Chains A and B, each alone.
Chain A
Amino acid sequence: MDSTPIVVDLSSSHQCKASWVGAKAAAVAHLIRHKYPVPFGFCLTVAAYELFLKQNQLDELIAIELGRKNLVDMRWEELWDSALRIRLAFQNSPVPEEVSNGIFEAMRAYDRTSQWAIRSSAPGEDSKGSSFAGLHETILGVSSEDEVLNAVKKVWASLWSDSALLYRQELSLDPRTSQMAVLIQAMCLEDVSGVAFSEDPRGRYLSCAIIEAVRGACAQLVDGALDPNRWILKKPNGEIIHFQQSSEQDTHDDRSLNHHDLIHLLNIIMELEGLMGCPQDLEWTGRKDSLTILQSRPITTLESKPGDKRPWYLSLKPGDETLSKLADEVVNDLIPRLRDEGEQLACEDLQGLDDHELSKALAKRSQKNQFWKQVYYDKFIPFAHGVRRFGVFYNDHLSPKDPYEFLELLKGESMIALNRNKSLAELANQLNLSRPLCEEVINLVNKKSDHKLESTLKEIPGGEKFLRDFKSYLAQYMDVIYAGESLKSKPINVLKTILEHRLLKSDTTDKPLNRSLEEHFFCALPAEQKSLGQTLLGLARQSWRLRDDDNLLVGRIESQLQRAIKESLVRLGVDCSADLPLKEPESLVTPMMKALGVAPEEREVPQVSWVTDTRTGDPKHHQQIGRQLTGQPAAAGLAKGSARLIESADDLGEFRVGEVLICDAIQPMMTQLVPLASAIVERRGGMLIHGAIIARELGLPCVNGISDIMSQVKNGDSVSVDGYLGIVTIGSAEFDLEWANAEPG
């Protein structure tokens, strides 16, 4: 029986079996056999991947990484984290000598080549039934032997990229059986490149081919960095039935394609369709005699079912140029506008408006709320991925032991939440300095007398200043929605948190930037990457700074809508005294506007429902099943404490110093609780989500990604949190039940 070779030459057709070299490389070898112009090169077979995996025990790492939790229950952030850890482990593992020698020998055989293209070629990828263009990595312009080895490791690791893991079912990804071959070809770059489809992939133009062209490398077109010229050509005569000019190119430029070039390409793609037996998607560079085919694969599209958000996640990787433009838009336009609009709406006196004006205010707020939510998804979240882009860049160049070391370079950026916590500490300090004031605040809290706040505190020395600062704190930072309720409308809860902060040692000093790591980072970058490194670090810092601010500011707009809704309900005679969150408040806007627009006697009051029970972990039905739960070790440390579940605005006020904070996810409007906590446990998983980040900054243990944490723990349970291993243990290691049965029965 043949054993699989490590390296095969693309011209060696009998060795280029798809099961050894993957579908992409097998197709390229097929083209070479039929004398098509294809860049020469060789292929690293799946045997090389297997050897690399076994030698470094990476198969076990992948099994542990992907087996930590059922993949179906993993959110995208968790998939991204797993992919990052796998990529770094691949990067930090040596390539077996047998493999590296094979690569170097093959490279030396082509000594006229100075640059290489390193492409993924997984068995099953680019087959007739499935094409997963873009899910795995391609690295262009690689020169030295070391660079080729590094690029090969990145391509291998891309078998487990976050994008590939999103489509794991379609790719049949399995840690025990999935493999990756690597296609290594001479770089071939002409003045014009593009893609060609022998059929319209979207099926709009029948019997037509589509050709797209950009100046320079095809990768810029495939990555979406450049807008191409696009021709729709009738088959077989090549009549141009539609032309769409690129927004970036001049079609009269002599580097664009003329009609002869188009016909030449059309003929080739039609031939290839016949040769390969199905419609083809071709990547090419050059024209006429210099035309080179980079790859040819079957046309397939990733199926997307309604509600499937995976394409949205795939879109979250803006190129560096796009990211810079996005940063400019977000930082200089959107965030200032969002801040201004929030402040403006917060200043409006809704009670002073007549019904007609109130109806208009409601419409305006609803429209603004929708607008900013959309901006949040379209702009703020993609911009937040600037941090991830920097993380990958940092790890690629520094190969650190800790995949999240790069976060050290982002600390110390000023944020709304940090300023808020400083104000909170200042209020707590005022209480510490004045015993009568503190006692009166405790008294008000115990009696839940928020209506007496002003009159009572004014009478006490220091009370007037405290009251002024407290009101300013509420207006500036608490005018946001949590679990459907405005935090500003619950001043007693806020006072409770201030009282707890009184018990903390005040540390409001800004954390300095880690300058020595920054120097180390720039020293490790090759000269030609320093400028990009500077840009990406700058973008990551901007993105990092805004990670809380955008949430808080959008939350403020939502709070203003909520205020208008409540005012309208009161105006329409709905009893709001229960002080509960509304169910689907936005659905009330249109009927309320309608009702406010007619005479009181003709008004149809909309049906209003209130959220009466927000708890998922209802103690009545609680049964302790989980003893030791595992999640992501999101921040190192070990702590033990009493569990406190946070699910509503009222829960925020109940949090006490030293408790273990357990919640769905730490949100920016509740980060004031974090300094009080001994540890954090979250349902939502991810190393770059708010809870994990804040826990790392404060040195608290944090475990996240435990899907059913809210139903497994109840308030008051003794919980230990191991942030080193990602383990949450409920209760003690007792044998009470066994000892209860100790006596002869």
Chain B
Amino acid sequence: MSNWDEPILGPKFSPEQNTDARTPEAIEHRIKKLVKEQRYGVLSTQGRGQPYGSLMAYALDETLKVGAFATHVETRKYKLLKECDRVALSVDNRSTVGDNIMAIQSFTATGRCSKASAKDYDWLAAMLTTRHPNLKDFITVKSCVLFRVDIFRFFHVMRFQEVCQWIPHQ
């Protein structure tokens, strides 16, 4: 039969109604929601083949193409960033949804780090301190460095194992 499928369950149960849409818009929306709700994430760096993770206060711009964070020059991550500018930032919502693995969402953003240039400094600093007002004094001390992250793409994960990739508009 050309239409042999058993009937669908009814108006509310149509298989057409995919509420977990994997469209660029839907993924972007989910990433933005995570960014809005979660002010901290784990920054991954590496040096001499050794990965390293640091919980960081971060900020991302509206387009999700550029991020910012600050660190003290004596930290391990600062030294590692001098060796290798490749980073990943992981953010998840465990703190808001509890330990239900199917309800947890996260993203990993891959990118490249550089010290904020003079041209970028003010807006990156404003972006970071608007989101984290308690860092206002911290970023002004001489031993603290403000970093810019250029994001290449996001890997969004939900329902434990569903992974989508999203690339910010060029």
Chain A interface residues toward B at CB < 8 A? 60, 63-64, 66-70, 72-73, 75-77, 166, 169, 176, 305, 307-310, 312-313, 373, 376-377, 381, 481-484, 551, 554-555, 558, 623-630, 665, 667, 683-684, 707-708, 712, 725, 727, 735, 737-738, 741
Bound-complex Cα distance A377 to B21 (A): 31
Min C-beta distance of B15 to chain A, whole Å = 6
- Residues of B near A66 (CB, < 8 A) are 102
B134 in contact (CB, < 8 A): no
Query: Do A307 and B11 touch (CB < 8 A)?
Result: yes
Query: Do B20 and A73 touch (CB < 8 A)?
Result: yes
Query: Do B18 and A376 touch (CB < 8 A)?
Result: no
- Residues of B near A725 (CB, < 8 A) are 161
- Residues of B near A381 (CB, < 8 A) are 6
Query: Do A558 and B152 touch (CB < 8 A)?
Result: no
Query: Do A72 and B110 touch (CB < 8 A)?
Result: no
Query: Do A624 and B18 touch (CB < 8 A)?
Result: no
- Residues of B near A77 (CB, < 8 A) are 6
Query: Do B5 and A76 touch (CB < 8 A)?
Result: no
Query: Do B86 and A712 touch (CB < 8 A)?
Result: no
Query: Do A308 and B162 touch (CB < 8 A)?
Result: no
Bound-complex Cα distance A482 to B103 (A): 39
Chain B interface residues toward A at CB < 8 A? 1-2, 4-13, 15, 17-24, 27, 86, 100-103, 110, 112, 150, 152-153, 155, 159-167
Tell me whether A73 and B165 are in contact in the complex, defined as CB-CB below 8 angstroms, given that A68-B102, A305-B11, A381-B6 are known contacts: no
Name the residue among A68, A307, A683, A725 with the largest chain B CB count within 10 angstroms: A307
- Residues of A near B152 (CB, < 8 A) are 737-738, 741
Query: Do A630 and B160 touch (CB < 8 A)?
Result: yes
Min C-beta distance of A623 to chain B, whole Å = 6
Query: Do B1 and A373 touch (CB < 8 A)?
Result: yes
- Residues of B near A60 (CB, < 8 A) are 101
- Residues of A near B12 (CB, < 8 A) are 72, 169, 308
Bound-complex Cα distance A64 to B100 (A): 8
Query: Do B102 and A64 touch (CB < 8 A)?
Result: yes
Contact partner, A626, options B9, B22, B102, B110, Cβ 8 Å: B22
Bound-complex Cα distance A72 to B24 (A): 21
Tell me whether A727 and B167 are in contact in the complex, defined as CB-CB below 8 angstroms, given that A64-B101, A376-B1, A737-B153 are known contacts: no
Bound-complex Cα distance A630 to B163 (A): 9
Min C-beta distance of A245 to chain B, whole Å = 35
Bound-complex Cα distance A211 to B1 (A): 44
Bound-complex Cα distance A703 to B161 (A): 14
- Residues of A near B6 (CB, < 8 A) are 75-77, 377, 381
Query: Do B112 and A305 touch (CB < 8 A)?
Result: no
Query: Do A73 and B17 touch (CB < 8 A)?
Result: yes
Tell me whether A738 and B2 are in contact in the complex, defined as CB-CB below 8 angstroms, given that A64-B102, A72-B13, A313-B9 are known contacts: no
- Residues of A near B1 (CB, < 8 A) are 373, 376, 481, 551, 554-555, 558
Query: Do A708 and B18 touch (CB < 8 A)?
Result: yes
Query: Do B10 and A307 touch (CB < 8 A)?
Result: yes
**Would you give 16 A-B contacts (Cβ < 8 Å), ordered by A?**
A63-B101, A64-B101, A67-B100, A69-B20, A72-B17, A73-B15, A166-B9, A169-B12, A307-B11, A373-B1, A625-B22, A625-B23, A629-B162, A630-B160, A735-B110, A738-B153
Query: Do A630 and B21 touch (CB < 8 A)?
Result: no
Contact partner, B7, options A312, A481, A482, Cβ 8 Å: A312
- Residues of A near B8 (CB, < 8 A) are 75, 309
Contact partner, B102, options A63, A309, A625, A667, Cβ 8 Å: A63
Nearest B residue (CB) for A705: B15
Bound-complex Cα distance A69 to B19 (A): 10
Contact partner, B9, options A310, A482, A558, A735, Cβ 8 Å: A310
Query: Do B102 and A684 touch (CB < 8 A)?
Result: no
Nearest B residue (CB) for A67: B102
- Residues of A near B167 (CB, < 8 A) are 737
Query: Do A624 and B4 touch (CB < 8 A)?
Result: no
Bound-complex Cα distance A429 to B162 (A): 43
